[in-house]
Amino acid sequence: MDIETKQYKSCDLITVSGRIDSYSAPQLQEAVDEVTDADRFKIVLDMSGVEFMSSAGLRVLIGTQKKNKKHKDGEIVLTAVPTRIREALDLAGFTPLFKIYEETMDGIGHF
């Protein structure tokens, strides 16, 4: 799994590619924690390159959303979510918990 983080004026963009499973989910958690530990709670997660996401990856998303929502205007927004992963989010009932945009720039524009 590859992770890139870029800070914008209004939010942070985390671009993830590869597999998010029980082995790599801690790396994603670490990347998210680096952003939130700097008191930045507006995150756009570009998932265009994600091939697979296990329940461990879903836990990272849910935990981050809970943490960010405790702060003023904080949240994690998902962009370019592959169909299979979006179906998994729907099946788990997590879709209503996130704003999901087709394009990454739309997610950044959300903030």
Extents of the domains making up the chain? 2-110
Helix axes 83-92, 55-69, angle to 10 degrees: 70
Three-state DSSP class for residue 14 = strand
What is the gyration radius of the CA atoms in the chain, in angstroms?
Answer: 12
Q: What is the pLDDT of residue 73?
A: 87
Would you say the pTM of this structure is higher than 0.85?
Answer: yes
Q: Tell the CATH superfamily of the 2-110 domain.
A: STAS domain (3.30.750.24)
Q: Is the pLDDT of residue 39 over 90?
A: yes
Q: What is the average pLDDT across 88-93?
A: 90
- Summarize pLDDT for 45-78 with one digit per residue, the tens: 999 999 999 999 999 999 999 999 999 889 999 9
Residues 6+ apart with CB under 8 A from 98: 61, 65, 76, 77, 78, 89
- In 3-state terms the chain splits into helix, strand, coil percentages (rounded to 5) of 45, 30, 25
Whether the Cβ atoms of residue 5 and residue 12 lie closer than 8 Å to each other: yes
Mean pLDDT of the chain: 95
% of residues, the chain, pLDDT over 70: 100
Q: Which residues pair with 77 in a beta bridge?
A: 44, 99
